Amino acid sequence: MKKLLHPVTVTVITLIFLFSLPFFIKQKNVTTWSDKKLRQSALNGSYRAIPKDYRGLLELLDTPDNRLTKEKIALGKMLFFENMLSYDKSINCSSCHLLNSGGDDNLPTAIGYNAQENPFHLNSPTVLNSALQKYQFWDARAKSVEEQAAGPVQASFEMHMKPKDVESRLNANSNYKELFKNIFNKDKIEFIDVQKAIGAYERTLLTYSPYDSFLDGNNSALNSSAKRGMTIFLSKGCAGCHSGITVGGQQIQHFPVRRYLIDYIGVLINPKLSIKDNPFPFDNIGGFLGKNNEQNFKVPMLREIAKTAPYFHNGSVKELKEAVRVMSKYQLGNEFSKRDIEDVVSFLKSLSGEIVEY
User: What is the binding site for ligand HEC (CB under 6 A)?
Assistant: 91, 93, 95-97, 110, 112, 118, 122, 124-125, 127, 130, 133, 136-138, 145, 148-149, 152-153, 158-159, 198, 237-238, 240-242, 253, 255, 257, 297, 299-300, 302, 305, 308, 311-313, 323-324, 327-328, 331-332, 344
CB of 260 to ligand HEC, least distance (A): 16
Nearer of residues 68 and 238 to ligand HEC, judged by Cβ: 238
Distance CA(197)–CA(190), nearest Å, equals: 11
CB 102 within 8 A of CB 254: no
Nearer of residues 179 and 301 to ligand HEC, judged by Cβ: 301
Distance CA(352)–CA(221), nearest Å, equals: 12
CB of 83 to ligand HEC, least distance (A): 10
CB 47 within 8 A of CB 215: yes
CB of 284 to ligand HEC, least distance (A): 10
Neighbours of 4 (CB within 10 A): 8
CB 351 within 8 A of CB 304: yes
Distance CA(137)–CA(30), nearest Å, equals: 34
Nearer of residues 136 and 250 to ligand HEC, judged by Cβ: 136
Nearer of residues 210 and 300 to ligand HEC, judged by Cβ: 300
Nearer of residues 187 and 348 to ligand HEC, judged by Cβ: 348
CB of 234 to ligand HEC, least distance (A): 10
CB of 175 to ligand HEC, least distance (A): 19
CB 276 within 8 A of CB 293: no
Nearer of residues 87 and 214 to ligand HEC, judged by Cβ: 87
Q: What are phi and psi of 151, to 5 degrees?
A: -65, -65
The CA dihedral of 14, 16, 19, 21, to the nearest 10 degrees, is -80
Burial 183-207 (b: 16+ CB within 10 A, else e): bbeeeebbbebbbbbbbbbbbbbbb
